[in-house]
Chain A
Amino acid sequence: MSGRANSIIIVGGGASGVVMAAHLLKSPNPDLRVTLIEKRPHFGQGIAYSTLLSAHVLNVSAAGMSAYADDPGNFWRWLQGRGLVDPEQTPQTPFYAPRSIYARYLGELLDELEAREQPTGRLRLIHEESLSITPTASGVEVALANGTSVVAHLAILATGHDEQPAQGHAIRMGSEADTALDPESRVMVLGTGLSMVDAFLALEQRGHTGEIVAVSRRGLLPSPHRKGNPIKLDVADIPLGTQLSYFVGWFRDLIRENQKAGIDWRDVVDGLRPFNQKIWQNWPASAKRRFVEHTKAWWDIHRHRMAPEVYAKVTQAVQAGRIRLVAGRVVGIVPSEAFSVDIQSRHSQLVETLDVARIYDCSGIVRDISTSSNSVVRSLVDRGLARPDPMRIGLDVSANCEIIASDGTVSRKILAVGPLTRGTFFEIDAIPDIRVQCARLSKQLLG
């Protein structure tokens, strides 16, 4: 390719697509052309921010949610401008906005960009489903579901989390199959993490009073946030490239030492955050595999926390017996009028049989990428233009976000951001990490 790549198609207009577009459009280049394609009726929502329920709040405080990596106060100022936060308070105040508000923020941010770029023609929005991306001699061609196609020099995949159908007899909360329920019936939730918490809040909103049995391998509930100051670490302090057990030992010691000095464990976990990608990238494949299999569940409940108010609600429900957390696995389901479910306890190995009216799948968002429900991703993998990363939790991408073909060739035309790149970037699900990735990629592409 000669010269700069001026025209860029972003496939996926959810949160990561909008954040990517916003960073690209910071470039003064008058020849830049950004095309953002989204199949949902609204830009900036994706799966994460399409919930209308006010009880579904962000899991990250407002200061972490600005769309711009170099302007952390952007979301806070927007909240202030709309009168949604106390004008006396600072952006450092813990504030967990409803996700629907965040969707509005990203929507308005895109509206503003669209209005600003209207005379320049640098931004084009397309409401349509993308079917495939094909490299051409001069760039890429993206085929759309309406039979047309768009071309550009480069394409950036920002398809976010996969919307795979629920497993077996389970259904997704809020899907079409999630019809009215007897409010007193017992329901089961697969998973005890943040998605289970969302399901509980939604059931509560609907006036559901029946027992909620939440099952996961370890039955662990995520921890609450607490205001603090992350400890300062330096890359020179952190053991890189060791086996997992060595690293975990070092990290436990670090937490213990800090706790002795009266520092909260959260400040140690958060202090590690700037180095998480580096730690992940330096681990041997065996350490990555062991982490995903054994350590990730523990890491997640400490690292991915919820608003303190939500935590209070959930623990109250657990104490009152409205939620029952079970460490175990489902070993059998007999569907009849209700479901008769056999759950084997992780600890006692005993099998308990429960009748539940419904099973909700909240078991997490990481699935084998080659079975993706997203046609663009699947067609890239099927044609060998992309390949799953060694963990199969995303697409294999280079440190520069370029996708890697099945024969190991690094693409110069197709890139990816957000959760799709978690095999290389580890924690790349949340805005604080995605905005940094988008800022870096924008600089890499446009200078």
Chain B
Amino acid sequence: MLTKKGKYGLKALVHLAHMPAGQLAFVNDIATGNNIPKKFLDAILGELRNAGFVQSRKGKDGGYRLARPADEIKVGHVVRVLDGPLAPIPCASRTQYQRCEDCNEATCQVRHLMLEVRQAIAEVLDQRSLAEMRDIVLDDLTVARAIDELPVKVQA
């Protein structure tokens, strides 16, 4: 599941995606604007820099900016770097697999369904770019409508 780290990282990137191209954002502005603890944000931005999503400049006028256009960075790219393999439950990952102490994974129906969920998560997050996520905010009425229009299963 998305951790706080993943959520803060995405918020910080959306903040950067709002900046005019090439302009740096101060870490303090990102932190206060998004309600993120400053120290935690520093660590997150460091990891995002290592992965090549943001660039930084040190010094008085220093700060961060996106390393690439916001429509090229997919949300799934970022979440994997900050939170590791996309998996709704630790036993549904292949590289970071953790066996549940209390069940047998071969017969566990929960795990079986969660593997399917993992697939769906990857499909959504790898399709959506930071630019799309940034624009959702201005347009959340359409998102709400789209959700309303989803087929509803009628309970018997």
Contacts and interface: CB of A to CB of B under 8 A. Distances in A.
Interface of A: 231-246, 254, 282, 284, 286-287
Given A243-B52, A282-B74, A287-B52, A237 B95 contact: yes
Contacts of B77: 239-242, 282
B73 interface: yes
Contacts of A241: 72-74, 76-77
A236 B74 contact: no
Contact of A235 (B50, B72, B122): B122
A236 B125 CA distance: 10
Contacts of B128: none
Given A232-B94, A234-B118, A282-B74, A239 B52 contact: no
Given A236-B85, A236-B119, A284-B68, A254 B73 contact: no
Nearest to A253: B95
Contact of B94 (A237, A240, A286): A237
A52 B56 CA distance: 58
Nearest to A239: B80
A242 B81 contact: yes
Contacts of B86: 236-237
Interface string B63-86: 000011000111011001100011
A242 B122 contact: no
A102 B85 CA distance: 41
A240 B73 CA distance: 10
Contacts, number: 67
Contacts of B52: 242-246, 284, 286-287
A231 B97 CA distance: 13
Nearest to B93: A237
Contacts of A237: 85-86, 93-96
A252 to B, nearest CB: 13
Contacts of A234: 85, 93-94, 118, 122
Given A241-B73, A282-B77, A284-B68, A233 B94 contact: yes
B8 interface: no
A329 to B, nearest CB: 30
Contact of A239 (B51, B67, B68): B51
B87 A236 contact: yes
A241 B68 CA distance: 11
Interface residues of B, number: 25
Nearest to A235: B122
B130 to A, nearest CB: 11
B contacts with A: majority SS? loop
Interface of B: 50-53, 67-68, 72-74, 76-77, 80-81, 85-87, 93-96, 118-119, 121-122, 126
A4 to B, nearest CB: 29
24 contacts: A232-B94, A234-B85, A234-B94, A236-B80, A236-B85, A236-B118, A236-B119, A236-B121, A237-B86, A237-B93, A237-B94, A237-B95, A237-B96, A238-B80, A239-B80, A239-B81, A240-B80, A242-B52, A243-B52, A243-B67, A244-B52, A245-B52, A246-B81, A254-B95
A289 to B, nearest CB: 13
A241 B72 CA distance: 8
A254 B81 CA distance: 15
B60 to A, nearest CB: 27
A55 B87 CA distance: 48
Among A231, A232, A243, A254: residue with most chain B CB under 10 A: A243
Contacts of B53: 242
Nearest to B74: A241
A243 B53 CA distance: 8
Contacts of B51: 239, 242-243, 246
Contacts of B73: 241
Contact of B126 (A231, A240, A254, A287): A240
B67 to A, nearest CB: 8
A286 B50 CA distance: 14
A234 B80 CA distance: 12
Given A237-B85, A239-B81, 14 more contacts: A231-B94, A234-B118, A234-B122, A236-B80, A236-B121, A240-B74, A240-B80, A242-B77, A243-B50, A244-B52, A246-B50, A246-B51, A246-B81, A286-B52
Nearest to B53: A242
B97 to A, nearest CB: 9
B136 to A, nearest CB: 19
B123 to A, nearest CB: 9
A236 B83 CA distance: 11
5 smallest beta-carbon distances between A and B, as pairs:
A243-B52, A241-B77, A236-B86, A242-B51, A237-B85
B6 to A, nearest CB: 14
A241 B52 CA distance: 9
A284 B72 contact: yes
Contacts of B67: 243, 284
B76 to A, nearest CB: 7
A58 to B, nearest CB: 30
A294 B17 CA distance: 31
B103 to A, nearest CB: 20
Contacts of A245: 50, 52
Contacts of A243: 50-52, 67
Contacts of A231: 94
A377 B52 CA distance: 35
